Structures are given as C-alpha cells and as structure tokens.
Amino acid sequence: MSEDSQPQQHRRAPSPLSVGRQPPSPLFTYHQRPRTGVIPPPLLSPAAAEIRDQAGRRLSIQEGARRQSLTYAEAGIPARRRSLAYADLMAVFYPPNIIHQPTVTNTPFECAEWEGVSDSALSHIPIDEPGVASWEPTLERAIKSIVSIKAQCVRSFDTETSGTYTATGFVVDAEAGLILSNRHVVNPAPIVAQAIFVNYEEVELQPVYRDPVHDFGFFRFDPKKVKFMQLDSIRLAPQKAKVGMEIRVVGNDAGEKLSILAGTLARLDRAAPEYGVGQYNDFNTFYLQAASGTSGGSSGSPVLDIYGDAVALNAGGATKAASSFYLPLSRIARALDLVRRGEQVPRGTIQAEFEYLPYDELRRLGLDMDIESKMRETFPESQGMLSVSTAQRGGPADGSLQSGDIVIAINGKPVIEFVSLEETLDSSIGQTVHISVWRGNKAYDMHIRVQDMCEITPNRFIEIGGGVVNEVSYQVARGYGIQTGGVYVASSGHVLGSASAWRGSVIVSVNNIATPNLDAFASALSQLSEGSRVPIRLFSLDKPYRQKVVIMNVTTHWHALRMATRDECTGYWIYRDLDPPALRIGAIEPQTASVPQLPATLAPAHRVWPSLVYLDFHIPYLVDGMKNTQFAGPGFIVDKEKGYIACDRDTVPTGVGDVYITIAGSIVLAGRVEFLHPVYNFAIVQYDPQLIGSTPVEDIRFHPDYYEGSRRLAQGDDVYLVGVSADQSPVVRRTEVSSRSMVSTRECVPPRFRCTNIEGVKLHDQPSCQGGVLCDDQGRVMALWVGVSSQDSNNKDVSTMSGLDVAILRPTVESLRNNQGPPNIRSLDAVLWTMRLAPARTLGLSPERISQIEEHSSDNPRLFYVMGLSTSESPAAKLLTTGDIILEKNGKLVRNVNDIGVIQDDECVELVVLRDGKEVTLRVPTTGLNGMETQRVVHWLGALIQQPYRAVHEQVRHLPSGVYVSCTLYGSPANCYGLRPGMWITEVENRAVKTIDEFVAILKELQLGWPESASEEPSLRDMRTARYVRITVVNKTEVTKVLSLRVDGHFWPAWQLIHDSGTATGWKSIRHL
C-alpha cells in the first residue's frame, strides 16, 4: 500500500457532508447552486495556477443568481468550485471572465458550403422581416414566451452537484410544450423543475433532451396547464446573426424575474468558453459575443433581434467586464426538429477536440502555402482553419490524430468550420470517416470509426451509503486526460467516505474485484458481507498516475442501495433496488493478537498500554447539531469481561453512527454506543469480548484514592502523561499539573453537546497527542487526558485538552459492571461557574458565611453561581435564576462543583442560595437525564427532524414544539422552499403538532411524502399535478413563518430511525413512517 493508503485519522476528519468550510477561492466558479459540504480543494493545473496568480480572474454560472442562503448543518454535496487548466479558453456559464484568446477575425462565415449546411438544417424556419420594426411591440410579444425556471438538482451526478438554482428558458413550440434553455440548466443530473410565466402561472417541467457537448437542452410542459394566457413561441433564426446587429437579452438576470439588456453583436467566431476542469464545458463550436452585461440567472435567455426572432442562446459572460457569450442556434434548430418529431437526436464523436486557428498560427504549425492558398480561394471569407487540440485517451481518434494536426478535409470534402464537421460525424455513427490532416510538413489520411456519444454519456447512477457513483463521462474524462468509463464518485456519503473516497475519485476495484463500469461495481458490492471491511483501489482525478488502496466499511443498513436509470423518452429517473451485501451467517470467528511490548524507556506506559484502544466513529446523518461525520480518538477499557470502553465525547459526540474499535493495534471490531453522559465529557461504547479471543487486554487500573474521589489532582502534582498519537503510537511525558480550574465551553452553532459543570487540569508540558491518561509511576490512572470540543467567538470549532477526574466515571462504570444499566442521572438544569469571595461579599454575602467557607476550604475558597439555565421549562429552571450563588445542598456546604453539577438519584434537593443580597432556602426538583437522548429521527422531504435535545433547550426561551429540524439536504424540497435547520414545525395544514408522534400521524393521514407506487407508470407520475403542503415554522427568535413545500415521495421518501438496543448498531432503520 502507498504511504497514504489508510484513511486519514483526525480528531475531526474532513466530512463529505460537513457544512461551514469553504475551499480556497477558485479561478473560475459556477453560480448555479449553493454549496453544502467539504470536498477536496479545486484541482489546479500548473497553467491554471499561473494564470490565477497573474490575473486572478474568476468565472461563474449565470443561472444561480437567486441562491438559497447557506445555513448551518445543511447537508449535501459541495457545490462546484473548480479551477481550469487551459488559459486561452476560459470563461463561465455566468458570468465568465475576459481572458486571452487567439487572434481571430470577427467576420462570419458566409461561404457556399456554410450556407448550404445552414439552409438544409434550418429550411423549416420562416424568416420574414416587415419593413418597419420597433423594440416595444417586439418585446411585449416575446416576453409572453420567456419563463423563469426554478430547479432543484436532487442528486450529485457527473459534473453536477445537488442544490437549488434559478435560470431562464423560452418557448420554442407552444403546441408541443417545448422550452429551450442551456444544457447546464436542463442538467444531466436528476432534477425537479418548474417554469413560471410572465403572468405567474407555474407549470411542471420535464427534461427531455440535453446535448452531451453543446450548452443547450429542452424541457417539456403541458400547455393545457396554462389557463390564463395565450401561449406563443419564439422562432429560431440563426442565419440572421450578423456583426453589428442590435440585440436584446431578455431573461431572469441576477435573479430578477424579468430583465431586458441591450447589446450589439461583436463576434460570431469566439472560442467556446471553459468553465473549469472536471466541470461541464462546451467545445467544438463557435460562440457569439456582445457587451450586454448579463449576469447570474440569465442562462437560457433568448438573444432577440428587433423582429422578435432568437438569433442565439445566452450562455456565459464575464464577471469583471460587460462581455457576454451566446451559443449559435444552427445545431439547436436541428435538434429541435428531431425532438418535435419524437425522434432520437444522433450525436457522433471521435473523442477529439478541435480549435479554430488563424492562418498566421497555422503557418507556425507548418501549414503549406499551397494548401493555404487553395483554402483561401475556396473560402474567401474565412481567415483560418480547424486544428486538433486534443485526442482523448482511449477514444477512436487516439493514436490517429495528434495535437497540432490541421484538418483539411473529411470524406474528401474541405472543412474549415464546426457545423460541417459535426454534421458529418452525426450522420456517420458506427461508420468510418476519412480525415485528411496536415502534420508538420506532410499530409496524412486517417480512417477513424465514429462512436455514438450516448455510449460515453452516463444516464445511470448507484446510491450507496448516501453517496452517488456513476461512470466517468466524456465531460469529466477530457478535463483530466483519462479514459471514459470507470466508476466516478459524484458524492461520497457514509460508506465511501469511510474510505476517504471523496468526490472526484475514480474507483478501480472493490475487494480486489475490478470495477471498469457501473455493472461491475454493483456486482462487486453484492459479493461483500454486511459489516465487513474491504480494500478498494482508487485514484483522484487530479493525480490519475497515483493509485491508493484504502479500507471501506460495508454498512448499508443506514441507507438504501439502489440504481437509478434515466428514461430518455420521459426524462424520468427510475429506481430499482440492488442486491445488498449478504448478512453474515453464524458466529464470527474470534481473532487473537498480542499487545505490543513497549521498551523500558517508556515506563509506565507498559502498564497502561494493554488497556488503550483506538476508536473511529462515523456518522451517517447530521443530527444532534453535528457538522462533521468522522471522528477518531483513544478509548480506555474499563471492563474487559463485558467489553466496556470509556472515551471522550470529542471522539463519540452522538449516538447515531458506526463505531470501529482497534484493539492491540491489529484487531478491528464493530462496537455500539451504550451511554453518552449528558453533562460530563465522556461516553461508553461496548464491543463483544468473545471476538478478541485470548488477546491479553486489561482493565485500566484506576488509582483507588482518585477513583473514589477522596483525592484530586492539584497544582504542582507530578504525573505521567501516557497518550496516543495520530498514528496510534505511544506518547509518554513526565510533567506536573500547572493549574486546576473549571472547564470553559461556549454555546455552539448549531447547538450541540458541550461539557459543563466540571473542573479540569492543565499541564506544564503538554505534548501533542489525541488523548490518553494521567497516571503515577506505577501506571495507576488518576485522570483521563481528553479532548474538549467547543467553539470560539466566531463560531469556529476548537478543541483543547484537559485532565478529567476519574471519580466522575465511577457511578457509571460501577452501575454497568453490576448489570444495573446506566445510572440515574439528575440535574438542576443550571450552568455553573466559580465566584471569588470578594465579589460575593459585594453581592451581600454575610461575614459569618464567608468565615464558614474559609474555614472549610483547603485551598483558595470559592463559590459556585448560576451562570445560565440549560432549559427554561423544567421545574428547577422555574425556581433558580441567573446569578443565584449556591451555598448549601441538603444542609451541607457546597465545596466542589461535583456536589451540585450532577445530582445522583435525588428527585428533589434543598438548596440555600444567595439572591439579591439575601439567603433563600429552596426545595428544587431535579430533572432526569437520559444517557441516549436522541431516540428517534424522522426524514421528511429532505429534512431530518428530531425531538429538541438538551443543547437546543439551552439556546431558546421556550420550545415552540417538540418537532425540531436538525438538518436539511441540498436539492430537497425542504431546502428549496425555505425550511432551515434550527426551526420548529408547529403546524401542518393548519393542524397543530407538539410532538414527533403527532407530526408522523398527520403525515400518515395526509399521505405526505412516502414512496410512490412502483406499479404506476413513470410518465403518469411525472406529469401529474404537483402537490404542496403548508407548514408553520418558528425559529429560535420566535419569528413565525408559513412555508409551502412541494411533496416529492420519489426522490425524497419519508423514513425514520428508531433507537433499538437489540440491533448491532443500536438503531433500526424503517423505510416508511
């Protein structure tokens, strides 16, 4: 294996679903949809990096002007930010940048052969120009045919990522209900889209065609759904485009429903813009250019002449200039004619990219003067010819055409522009074409077989563990110089993320079974067993020369394993379940290993090391305020007979997830979360001790005095730190305690667990490690050295190390050892902090009480006061108030925060508090706390919903309801229509909901969101009237809002997770409500 063959181990490893991290600003970006997650940084070639440093220009897609705001914990796949490699072909969907272009003429092609091609392709288009024309009536008529498109890309796929975006389109056939827009709007990925007409009528859109290369596609809608407006079409008139023509670009510019921008066509032969390596890019075509200043949201707008005809399709532009780029309509008109007749649009390719070069550059490539003379004579209006830019590796042209070849003729016919080239290829699928090229100082004849472009354009994907894989497309392959085919990771999800197979990876094999295509990948998965760990071989697109072998955890019980295939006639994606990995039959055979023997120089680590293990924790869903999905750190065996392990909650922060335990450095077992302390910073996980055979592990040896609580580490005490480094090797350091103080944490955004009401110790010399123990020279443990997770003032996650008294583990450990289950934990629902005697005296503390406190304090005397309340709705919270100084509990002076931080067993305590300068006696009921707070998670329309947990209570005055939105997924109805994490659902269809049970009952009754019947025809499902549901939501500042969500049971079926201690993971997944 390579040096990085194993997944990286971090306390907070990068997550494919985590939110809030943004990669470095790329050279060019898409504006199409918002970002959700973490992916590897943009892949830059040296050329692109140099251009970025020199110019710093950025490009973007124009349809995403009206983006949804990013809010915490919104999960999904990261949006597209990539940098590109070719410096002379840079631009974007909207808006792109002005970059250096080869010098070419602005004269349109008007030679006989060009005219012949155009006329044959466009003979059905009538061109009539009245003698007098005006923009006002033209625009008034055209506006009725232009629509604003809102769409949700529901899955990451190929070059696309999930998200919500807006764009523009226009009706090109009112009777057939056909709308023309850009290919990056129609999208190769599964989408749900609607069109809004100028009178605000909304219709459902059905993607029916998207070109594999050129930036155009068609939607279909039902014209009968438009009730209050007479539909009209805009004619396509590519022949009318001329340099100097006045134009208007009408569309959803900058997210405004209607904008009209003026311009003048300046070029008809601009090179196709480049949108970024690994992203969708157009090529083998000219673009038109004008200074119309379009921006995000106007993708798909018609470029109109004064007679109301479309002369081009708006596609891209510059962010720091007024230049806009338009796609010519000649090939679009051909495709429209075929789509209108219900026929397939043939697209042939030899997997070669061509570029148009002027004659001066061609002469430098070796073009013979005689050939130039003949071409100039044949095509007097042309100032250049086509040259081969690249021949795709493994494609039909590979080995025949070379970069720099100058195209002279195809099938004996001279060719100097793209339309003739593509017409020949499109009409020759499966046949051999004869291409004559000039290379250096010689002419060569090549015979190349034309391939169907559909063969290298994926229309299937597999959902595995919440991630998505599809075959490597021509679009992706050309950006990185690799072959098409292979299994491309479009979104990593839970399973592939466990192997660090992030987006942009190509999987070569699974468990040593080659996966050259999607079918082979599905077959390899079916041969695995559930819960196993298998090697996968992969490479990253930016380093295709370097393969890695990593370990993948096979856990398909959290998510469905299925394949989706696009119906090319309807555009609908049809799911079918795949054969899952087989369940293990019979008992798992135990494994035995030896604990590594440490040298004497590392004493007393040799006494502790048999008790230390390493934990990896992977989260399938972002619940309980999580923003990351992978965690790792050390654990400590506290009961080897029952398999109990203690660790900090920076390693196991929530109960929903998979635990993998590495024992003796060589045995990896699956574990289960048994207990999460709701106040203190520790968790208990369990493994099956029978599975480690006779491996000589030991219970960690606690120092009796410290375990029972009669002694605590204090400033100046000598200790040995025995820790675990990131590579799981021992770290040993003799040091001393520098201080003892309260552990400080802040309220987190989004709300998540933070330890409170506890003291910790700091060390003079703190070596870097992931955790460990503080022990004496005999290896007896006095404190755990753990990570404390919190946030800074900018809401950035931070983690510090602190010593945790082992006495706080004792009630839990002893209760589990005695088969009594987790202990009865109760709380005052107060966040406590220390106060010195001086401010307490100022607040009215009597001299007698001060003397009593000083008399019973062995060190610096201090008091504990209520700094905040963990909830405002418990009985204790109604009696205590912020600022109360707690002096006594049940008649005893409070000397330690452990006396009141957690209450064991007592349902009611008597407290003496100092309030407003007077001592007050209170009988305060305590609140019972659960060691597994989250018991149920419901997924509905892309929202993860759970009961509000303790950290949420802390940040609100009162709970609006018990239905709390913990996370929303990009591209889902929840995300699209404004449902955000941190909201409470209080009503569904004007019916109040207070609990999760009531919420689920209403969903069942109204049938809001479960999968559609498999027997129903896809075309009928796709065309039926959309259904919306009204919900009332309240945010943490008690602002109420009513939302309407589109019900989608196909891509976003309802399901739920229920805690079940009888299962291996502790959770049961139910694929219905």
Return the active site residues: 184, 215, 298
Nearest alpha carbon to residue 185 among 270, 251, 121, 258: 251
The kind and range of the H/E element at 507 are strand 505-510
Distance of CA 224 to the CA centre of its chain: 38
Distance of CA 881 to the CA centre of its chain: 42
Question: The tokens 């007979």 sit on which residue?
Answer: 641
C-alpha to C-alpha distance for 448 and 402, rounded to whole angstroms: 13
List phi, psi (to 5°) of 609: -60, -35
The kind and range of the H/E element at 203 are strand 202-210
CA-CA-CA-CA torsion sign (832, 836, 841, 845): positive
Question: The tokens 């034309």 sit on which residue?
Answer: 450
38, 18 in Cβ contact below 8 A? Answer: yes
CA-CA-CA-CA torsion sign (307, 309, 311, 316): positive
608, 699 in Cβ contact below 8 A? Answer: no
What region, left, alpha or beta, does residue 571 occupy, with left being phi > 0 and alpha being psi -120 to 50 degrees?
left
560, 1072 in Cβ contact below 8 A? Answer: no
C-alpha to C-alpha distance for 754 and 195, rounded to whole angstroms: 46
C-alpha to C-alpha distance for 926 and 907, rounded to whole angstroms: 5
How distant, in Å, are the alpha carbons of 528, 737, 848, 966, 1005 from that of 962? 40, 44, 47, 12, 19
710, 734 in Cβ contact below 8 A? Answer: no
672, 688 in Cβ contact below 8 A? Answer: no
DSSP per residue, 857-903: -SSS--EEEEEEES-SSSHHHHH--TTPEEEEETTEE--STHHHHSE
998, 968 in Cβ contact below 8 A? Answer: no
C-alpha to C-alpha distance for 904 and 928, rounded to whole angstroms: 10
Q: SS3 of 344, please?
A: coil
549, 1 in Cβ contact below 8 A? Answer: yes
C-alpha to C-alpha distance for 874 and 511, rounded to whole angstroms: 53
Within 894-1048, strands assigned E span 903-904, 908-915, 918-925, 927-929, 936-940, 943-946, 964-968, 984-988, 991-992, 1028-1034, 1040-1046
C-alpha to C-alpha distance for 1009 and 939, rounded to whole angstroms: 10
- DSSP H helical segments within 215-256, as ranges? none
C-alpha to C-alpha distance for 236 and 127, rounded to whole angstroms: 9
C-alpha to C-alpha distance for 59 and 303, rounded to whole angstroms: 21
Cβ neighbours, 10 Å, residue 844: 14
Amino acid letter for position 1054: A
41, 817 in Cβ contact below 8 A? Answer: no
- DSSP H helical segments within 175-307, as ranges? 183-186
C-alpha to C-alpha distance for 960 and 965, rounded to whole angstroms: 12
Start-to-end CA span in the chain (Å): 45
